[in-house]
Amino acid sequence: MTRGYRMIVRAHGGPEAIEREEFEVPSPGRGEVLIETEAVGLNFIDTYYRKGLYPDALPIRLGSESVGRIVALGEGVGGFAMGERVGTTMAGGAYASHRLIPADKAMRIPAGIAPETAAAVMLKGLTACYLAEDTFAARAGHVALVHSAAGGVGSLLVPWLLDKGVTVIAHAGSAAKAAQVPTRHSLSCDLDDLPGNVSAVTGGAMCHVVYDGVGAASWSASLACLRRRGMMVSYGNASGAVPPVSLLDLMRGGSLYVTRPTLADYVATPEMLAASAKKLFDRIAGGVLDPKIGQTFRLDDAAEAHRALESRATTGSTVLIP
């Protein structure tokens, strides 16, 4: 029996709460594949589970994004082969040398995409995909405002939209971050001043769509940046959840539309997942997206990676290597 290891949390706390645990690598059950992990993506949500901000039963098996080679196929699995590289964004258990994955949650990683790149980009990239392609069918001639444009999702969403011919107005938390965004219209103003600046950029026409992962703090400013019958896409709540929405505010804003999407509903079937993954990896291979991996850590050093992430000592994406 093969021995593996994983990083777990037995009691909520700081990075020191992360422990290494050895385990016997199981055989895949029906509909499952077993992968030997090559790279794990680090996400800030991992720290929320570690600290207990997001509920989960202890002990917690950390991580969602991982990439590896298939080393065993369960009964009934079709469409995948031994040795093939696959990845998943399925929550729980990514910080491990080996991982069982339901085959319908696995996405094939193209030969030209390094496992570190795939692990760093799957969750954020699939989010950018559904925002740009499905939630609002952005096209040339549209004007879009992207909040947190230098962040994980924003740094992928902006070039994706630009490639479609969309005029992108980027907003970032500082002038330094705004300068990193590859668009002619990059702002770092206070949220109270944002609608006025957007009006100046658009000659008063405002935006067809706003992509807002900030949440409560930016809600009013985002609505004020929309044109008549514009679409508010509230896909995150970094500053807290948006309070209850008044439908009359949407009417007064110009018959506005609002949606609160989540990735799971856009990759709900194997076919949907495969189609979205292809769009993402095609854009990486074509140079539209250029994911930046700022640092890597050994999986054994996951606690140190968490410390670096929480102290804002990281740049770009962070990847853990078994």
pLDDT recorded at residue 241: 84
Residue 267 has what DSSP assignment?
S
User: What residue spans define the domains of the chain?
Assistant: 3-122+267-321, 140-260
- Provide mean pLDDT across the span 263-270: 95
Buried b (16+ CB within 10 A) or exposed e, 194-229: bbebbeebbeeebbbbbbbbbbebbbebbbbbbbee
pLDDT recorded at residue 55: 87
3-state class percentages of the chain: helix first, strand second, coil last, to nearest 5: 35, 25, 40
Q: Reply yes or no: is the peptide bond before residue 261 cis, omega within 30 of 0.
A: no
Please tell me the pTM assigned to this model: 0.91
- In the chain, the amino acid numbered 253 is G
Q: Beta strand pairing status for 85-88 and 107-108?
A: antiparallel
pLDDT tens for residues 148-158?
Answer: 998 889 999 99
Q: Which of 31-40, 292-301, 309-318 has the lowest mean pLDDT?
A: 309-318
pLDDT recorded at residue 237: 84
pLDDT recorded at residue 236: 87
Could you please state the CATH topology (level 3) that the domain comprising 3-122+267-321 is classified under. Answer: Quinone Oxidoreductase; Chain A, domain 1 (3.90.180)
Cα separations in angstroms, 233 against 27, 85, 137: 42, 33, 12
Report the percentage of the chain scoring pLDDT > 90: 87
Locate 208 and state its tokens.
Answer: 């067809």
pLDDT band at 1 (very low <50, low <70, confident <90, very high): confident
- Provide mean pLDDT across the span 58-79: 96
pLDDT recorded at residue 121: 94
pLDDT tens for residues 96-134?
Answer: 999 999 999 999 999 999 999 999 999 999 999 999 999
Residue 199 has what DSSP assignment?
H
pLDDT tens for residues 8-38?
Answer: 999 999 999 999 999 999 999 999 999 999 9
pLDDT recorded at residue 238: 81
pLDDT recorded at residue 152: 86
Residue with tokens 């969750």: 123
- Provide mean pLDDT across the span 280-300: 95
Cα 181 → chain centroid: 18
- Provide mean pLDDT across the span 272-300: 95
pLDDT recorded at residue 311: 87
pLDDT tens for residues 200-209?
Answer: 999 999 999 9
- Provide mean pLDDT across the span 252-280: 96
pLDDT recorded at residue 206: 98
DSSP labels for 130-186? Answer: HIIIIIS---TT-EEEESSTTSTTHHHHHHHHHHTT-EEEEE-SSHHHHTTS-SSEE
Residue 315 has pLDDT above 80, yes or no: no
pLDDT tens for residues 206-229?
Answer: 999 999 999 999 999 999 999 999
CATH, domain 140-260, list 3.40.50.300, 3.40.50.720, 3.10.20.30, 3.90.1170.20: 3.40.50.720
- Provide mean pLDDT across the span 298-307: 97
pLDDT recorded at residue 63: 96
